[in-house]
């Protein structure tokens, strides 16, 4: 007698036919054996959506224009109100209050706050306003004081100009410019972290 092993090959269909062998179903795919399905086609329900980068240019222009326009007005109001208050206190040697100068100071502060809030649109506004109207003239005056006097000559000679001159030479414009640039950079960094 020959001793060899007989290996039977069975087809899965035979096993299923007789019920001896049944493949377990994967619970994650309950409809795996269903063949009548339509292929999935992604549906884009927002066909008219614009590119988000398209609105960035408009926001930058609005913020930059607001920073360039509002910053000198705010600085002028603060300088004028501060000069009036200083002259009143020094002239009378008292602590009287001038409602108009207080209003100028508050108005200038609110406008500077608005310039800082322009950073919510784009950091361009606070950075441009601080650089053009604060840092550039402040650094120029520190480096070459004669430039500060020449700059002041181009302005109309009134109380606002005298107030701005005093802010220019004591470093107030420089400090305000750096604060605005810092507000713009902070808003840009916060936007990038999101």
The vertex-26 CA angle with 23 and 31, nearest 5°, equals 100
- Note the pLDDT of residue 55: 73
Task: Say which residues have a Cβ less than 8 Å from residue 131's Cβ, sequence separation at least 6.
Answer: 177, 181
With tokens 């409809």, the residue in question is 31
- Note the pLDDT of residue 68: 95
With tokens 């377990």, the residue in question is 24
With tokens 């509002």, the residue in question is 70
Measure the CA–CA gap between 100 and 102, rounded to whole angstroms.
Answer: 5
pLDDT per position in the chain (194 positions), as tens? Answer: 555 555 555 555 555 555 555 555 666 665 555 555 555 555 555 555 555 566 788 999 999 999 999 999 999 999 999 988 888 887 777 677 789 999 999 999 999 999 999 999 999 999 999 999 999 999 999 998 888 888 888 878 888 888 888 888 889 999 999 999 999 999 999 888 87
With tokens 């609105």, the residue in question is 55
Measure the CA–CA gap between 64 and 25, rounded to whole angstroms.
Answer: 64
- Note the pLDDT of residue 160: 85
- Note the pLDDT of residue 24: 59
Start-end of H helices in the chain = 12-18, 54-92, 99-117, 124-130, 136-143, 145-153, 159-170, 172-193
- Note the pLDDT of residue 93: 72
Measure the CA–CA gap between 171 and 169, rounded to whole angstroms.
Answer: 5
* 145 neighbors 152 (Cβ within 8 angstroms): no
Neighbours of 37 (CB within 10 A): 7
């Amino acid at each position: 007698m020959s001793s060899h092993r007989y290996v039977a090959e069975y087809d899965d269909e035979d096993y299923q036919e007789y019920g001896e062998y049944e493949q377990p179903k994967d619970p994650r795919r309950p409809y795996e054996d269903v063949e009548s399905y339509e292929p999935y086609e992604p549906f884009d329900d927002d066909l008219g959506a614009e590119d988000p980068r398209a609105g960035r240019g408009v926001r930058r222009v609005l913020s930059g224009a607001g920073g360039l326009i509002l910053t000198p007005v705010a600085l002028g109001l603060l300088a004028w109100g501060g000069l009036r208050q200083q002259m009143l206190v020094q002239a009378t040697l008292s602590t009287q209050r001038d409602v108009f100068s207080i209003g100028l100071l508050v108005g200038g502060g609110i406008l500077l706050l608005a310039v800082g809030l322009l950073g919510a649109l784009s950091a361009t506004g606070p950075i441009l306003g601080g650089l053009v109207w604060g840092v550039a003239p402040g650094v120029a005056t520190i480096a070459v004081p004669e430039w500060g006097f020449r700059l002041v000559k181009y302005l109309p000679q009134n109380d606002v100009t005298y107030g701005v001159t005093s802010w220019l030479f004591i470093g107030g414009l420089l400090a305000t410019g750096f604060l605005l640039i810092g507000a713009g950079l902070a808003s840009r960094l916060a936007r990038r972290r999101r």
